[in-house]
Amino acid sequence: MSLVIVGSVAFDTIETPGARRERIVGGSCTYSALAASFFTRPGIVAVVGEDFPKTTADFLKKRGVDLKGLTVVPGGKTFFWEGRYGDDPNQRDTVRLDLNVFRDFQPTLPPSYRAPDILFLANISPGLQEHVLAQVKRPRLVAMDTIRHYIETEPEALDRVLRKTDICFANDEEARLMTNEGNLIRAGRRLLERGPRLVVLKKGEHGAFVFGRDSLFGIMAHPCEGVVDPTGAGDSFAGAFLGYLDRVGNFRASSIRRAAVYGSVLASFTIEDFGIERFKTMKPADVEARFAALKKLVSV
Ligand code: AMP
């Protein structure tokens, strides 16, 4: 099996009620690839400027992330995003967004990325998601994620991507915006009517739902007392979910359920520190221990 991820690699400035961090490494592709790397060796399609730290590229490589599809633009500036959280970690505002090198990025995929088993169109412009989708031979599974910004600015392109998608990841706010439906269960069902076979609705600290045409599965979030930085939780969830499916090599209902629990586990680690810091300290055994704890928590 193989997993290719397209998305943002970024500098983020993050403000929470208790702290502020300037220009730390983030991005949807970065978080999802690092989470997936606990299960498989993902390849990434993204672009950075010359300002991107070599130490981060080295860390990604060390975690088994393949960087053949990462373009470095000489003299270019890396994508920048600034977000601010209030007291509710599930709510945030985008303070600033500079596309920089992503503005005109039209990648040509390396030959070894053109027939992935799983393609993850992580949060980035739907136009770029389509551009990548057009270059791959029909993967066994296509997954996508997006964000309020693209739901509001590029709804038609987003709908075209959704039609070609097998799994759609969204948080509760995004699902409501995409469907104009206040009730989350109805929003999940509505999304299923627009293409995907599965819709994964993340509810932050309240866990997630996996909707299928004839099924519904609920997952708890790990009970975390100290959320340091909620950024990247959604991307980590999706990266682990797809990384796990890539490792097991099948999409059976039982694998999907386990994938969702691993998604929840990786998301719970990400939010324990700023940016991608927690990925530097956690070990595969920690992931398994938390998986077991989560299972125990919901068993009768
Ligand atoms: P998450 O918290 O999982 O929704 O993802 C947060 C990451 O998304 C941050 O690290 C940002 O760099 C990245 N991000 C924020 N806005 C955008 C955008 N419009 N396009 C692509 N990536 C973005």
Is the CB of 66 within 6 Å of ligand 1? no
What pLDDT does residue 300 have?
86
Report field, pTM of the whole predicted structure over 0.75: yes
Is the CB of 205 within 6 Å of ligand 1? no
Is the CB of 246 within 6 Å of ligand 1? no
What pLDDT does residue 206 have?
84
The domain ranges of the chain are: 3-298
Q: Which atom of ligand 1 is nearest to the CA of 79?
A: 12
Nearest CA to ligand 1 atom 21: 124
Is the CB of 126 within 6 Å of ligand 1? no
- Cβ-Cβ contacts under 8 Å for 275 (sequence gap 6 or more): 12, 14, 21, 24, 25, 26, 229, 231, 232
Classify domain 3-298 at the CATH superfamily level.
Answer: Ribokinase (3.40.1190.20)
Is residue 248 exposed (0-12), middle (13-18) or buried (19+ Cβ within 10 Å)? middle
Ranges in the chain, pLDDT < 50: none
Structure token pair of residue 231 = 């950024």
Phi/psi at 86 (nearest 5 deg)? -95, -155
Mutational test site, ligand 1, from 5, 6, 8, max ligand atoms within 8 Å of CB: 8
DSSP SS3 for 6: strand
Is the CB of 145 within 6 Å of ligand 1? no
Q: 258-289: per-residue pLDDT in tens?
A: 999 999 999 999 999 999 999 999 999 999 99
Q: 32-84: per-residue pLDDT in tens?
A: 999 999 999 999 999 999 999 999 999 999 999 999 999 999 999 999 999 99
What is the Cα–Cα distance from 184 to 182, expressed in whole angstroms?
A: 6
